[in-house]
């Protein structure tokens, strides 16, 4: 066992003395040491219940003969961080989480790990760490929040942000806004729609790193405590069998994840995180993969914000396995992939049943014959951009209009709420990419303001930043190359015509090559917005959105 390095032999007497200081007995030191990575804190609603999940995992590990030892991982609540400097620190925590977990796990020589995340960056960050560390590992999340209810209708966080826009436009009273505020987020858990946290938790099941139900069982259900105990026991089985993350997270597993992503209509942020996870296993992930997979993968689910159903509904309908079972009818999955159950994907989903064809459409009756995400390219995004096609109204799938150019998110929000954006406009927000932000902020505030102002079916938004999973509408993000490195989005001028054609996967600036070249000659890089601390180091090392915003040592410093 790896832990023998710190628990066995005379040379390890000093190490054992420190384990003694922890209160561990000889019997505990003789057992496998299982690190439990806890993302518990008291600031993120999706994490406030993780202490209970962690305790259940500890019981499971101990019941199966292991010694559970807890250490922490940080977490940012994207909703609380939204719309201010805090959002610069959201995506960047993914790499902090991966790096710190790698450091803790290898420094202390754990034999196995149980990852207990829930919200947006913790899941991919810990998946990245799992691939690096490569000891037997299983995931068990905190689970989704139950939907809120306002005036008899289910709601979620996207409804709350849009209510702010509706109030600004005079379509919702102050009293109505207060009702949304008090009723939208009724329980602990990751926000109740198919936002980034729930997207990634669902994909842990598809990747094979989480047990069935990990992505969908609500946070407040006792079933999730039982799931956590089973995960604790199961990791000991993985250790006994020698099944490791890189045995599970293979190229085929990543392609499975992208396929199910298309069927579920996941957050566009999955197109940042899947490439980053693939990078850790040595897979060359081109975001163009998405279009090839989307072309043959039907979109089967319209969970909020794309539709009126929520994670609790998906859970009752049969969960992720039921979606996978539908896709397998078309032979779209690699069913021979190993999973943490000790069984293959095919064995896991063999008995899955779709219990609600309104929540999970059968393959014979999909919402669309193509998947929920699309990668658009053109002279405005030569390296690609990403849109959640399943959340775009039909009339906006093809659109052209004048560019309304803003150098940051705040200026765009001021213009939208000030009534300066009109039907037909294409809002361009630039210098918000991984380097330019830095940190690639989410644009939920402007997309929600557009929807709340009644412009969701007539105004598009394009950015080198990214979108929350709660965003809907013709919201095109991850435009690469970004403005900060001189990408074409930096050359757009007020009034330029932008042409969007999602069915043809095209994003074009209707300006001649000659004019663009003249503009490029006069373009100059901007001074960095941040020059000290972690964000400055991040900006120096981060790659573009189309590569998953992974960190690399700059070549001139190598």
What are the residue numbers of the active site? Answer: 468
As beta bridge partners, residue 35 has 69, 113
Residue 500 sits at φ, ψ, to 5 deg, of -115, 125
CA distance linking residue 401 with residue 545, whole number of Å: 25
Beta-strand ranges (E) seen in 340-470 are 374-378, 381-387, 398-406, 426-429, 460-463
Q: How many angstroms separate the CA atoms of 486 and 463, rounded? A: 14
> Per the structure block, which two tokens stand in for 366?
């999909």
**How far apart (Å, rounded) are the C-alpha atoms in residues 99 and 524?**
34
Q: Which of 240, 262, 250 is nearest to 209 (CA)?
A: 250
* SS3 per-residue string spanning 13-39: HHHHHHHHHCCCCHHHHHCCEEEEEEC
The gap from C-alpha 73 to its chain's centroid, in whole angstroms, comes to 17
> Is 265:388 a contact under the CB 8 Å cutoff?
yes
Distance CA 369, CA 235 (A): 38
Q: Please, what's the b/e burial string for 493-516 (b: 16 or more CB within 10 A of its CB; e: otherwise)? A: eeebebbbebeebbbbbebeeeeb
Number of H helices and number of E strands within the chain?
Answer: 22, 14
Respond yes or no on whether the N-terminal peptide bond of residue 481 is cis (omega within 30° of 0). yes
CA atoms of 540 and 551, how far apart (whole Å): 9
What six digits make up the tokens of 535?
């964000």
Question: What residues does 426 pair with on adjacent strands?
Answer: 403, 460
Angle at CA of residue 370, ends 365 and 376, nearest 5°: 160
Report whether 496 contacts 403 (CB < 8 A).
yes
Closest of 206, 214, 335, 338 to residue 262, by C-alpha: 206
CB 90 within 8 A of CB 119: no
What is the rounded (10 degree) CA torsion for 37, 39, 42, 46? Answer: -140
Nearest-angstrom CA–CA distance, 458 and 157: 23
**Distance, CA of 421 to CA of 463 (rounded, Å):** 16
Q: How is residue 360 annotated by DSSP?
A: S
Q: How far from 18 is each of 23, 27, 32, 318, CA to CA, in Å?
A: 9, 15, 17, 47
Nearest to 292 by CA among 325, 321, 244, 258: 258
Q: Can you tell me the distance from the alpha carbon of 462 to that of 265, in angstroms, rounded to the nearest whole number?
A: 20
């Amino acid at each position: 066992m790896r832990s023998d390095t710190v628990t066995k032999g005379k040379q390890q007497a000093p190490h054992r003395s420190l384990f003694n200081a922890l209160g561990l007995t000889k019997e505990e030191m003789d057992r496998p040491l299982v690190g439990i990575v806890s993302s518990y804190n008291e600031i993120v609603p999706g994490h406030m219940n993780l202490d209970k999940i962690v305790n259940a995992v500890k019981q499971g590990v101990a019941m199966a003969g292991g010694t559970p030892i807890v250490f922490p991982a940080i977490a940012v609540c994207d909703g609380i961080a939204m719309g201010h400097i805090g959002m610069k620190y959201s995506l960047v925590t993914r790499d902090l989480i991966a790096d710190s977990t790698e450091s803790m796990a290898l420094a202390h020589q754990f034999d196995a790990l149980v990852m207990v995340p829930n919200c947006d960056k913790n899941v991919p960050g810990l998946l990245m760490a799992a691939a690096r560390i490569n000891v037997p590992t299983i995931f068990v999340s905190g689970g989704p929040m139950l939907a809120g209810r306002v005036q008899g209708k289910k709601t979620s966080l996207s409804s709350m942000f849009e209510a702010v826009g509706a109030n600004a436009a005079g379509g919702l009273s102050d009293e109505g806004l207060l009702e949304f505020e008090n009723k939208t987020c009724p329980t602990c858990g990751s926000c109740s729609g198919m936002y980034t946290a729930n997207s990634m938790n669902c994909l842990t099941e598809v990747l094979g790193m989480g047990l069935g139900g990990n992505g969908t069982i609500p946070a407040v259900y006792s079933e999730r405590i039982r799931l956590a105990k089973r995960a604790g026991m199961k990791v000991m089985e993985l250790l006994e069998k020698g099944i490791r993350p890189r045995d599970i997270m293979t190229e085929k597993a990543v392609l499975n994840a992208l396929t199910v992503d298309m069927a579920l209509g996941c957050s566009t942020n999955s197109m940042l995180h899947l490439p980053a996870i693939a990078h850790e296993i040595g897979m060359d992930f081109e975001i163009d993969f998405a279009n090839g997979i989307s072309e043959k993968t039907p979109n089967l689910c319209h969970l909020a914000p794309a539709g009126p159903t929520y994670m609790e509904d998906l859970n009752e309908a049969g969960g992720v396995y039921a979606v996978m079972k539908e896709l397998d009818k078309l032979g779209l999955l690699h069913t021979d992939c190993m999973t943490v159950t000790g069984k293959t994907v095919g064995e896991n989903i063999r008995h899955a049943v779709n219990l609600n064809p309104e929540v999970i459409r059968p393959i014979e009756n999909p919402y669309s014959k193509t998947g929920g995400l699309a990668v658009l390219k053109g002279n405005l995004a030569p390296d690609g951009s990403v849109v959640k096609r399943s959340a775009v109204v039909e009339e906006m799938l093809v659109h052209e209009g004048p560019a309304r150019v803003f150098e940051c998110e705040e200026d765009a929000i001021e213009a939208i709420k000030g009534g300066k954006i009109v039907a037909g406009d294409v809002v361009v927000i630039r210098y918000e990419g991984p380097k330019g932000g830095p940190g690639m902020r989410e644009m939920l505030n402007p997309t929600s303001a557009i929807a709340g102002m009644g412009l969701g079916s007539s105004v598009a938004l394009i950015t080198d930043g990214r979108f929350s999973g709660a965003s809907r509408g013709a919201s095109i993000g991850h435009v690469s190359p970004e403005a900060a490195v001189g990408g074409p989005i930096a050359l757009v001028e007020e009034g330029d015509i932008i042409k969007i054609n999602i069915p043809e996967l095209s994003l074009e600036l209707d300006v001649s090559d000659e004019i663009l070249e003249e503009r490029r000659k006069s373009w100059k890089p901007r001074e960095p917005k941040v020059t000290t601390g972690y964000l400055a180091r991040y900006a120096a090392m981060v790659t573009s959105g189309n590569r998953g915003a992974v960190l690399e040592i700059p070549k001139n410093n190598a």
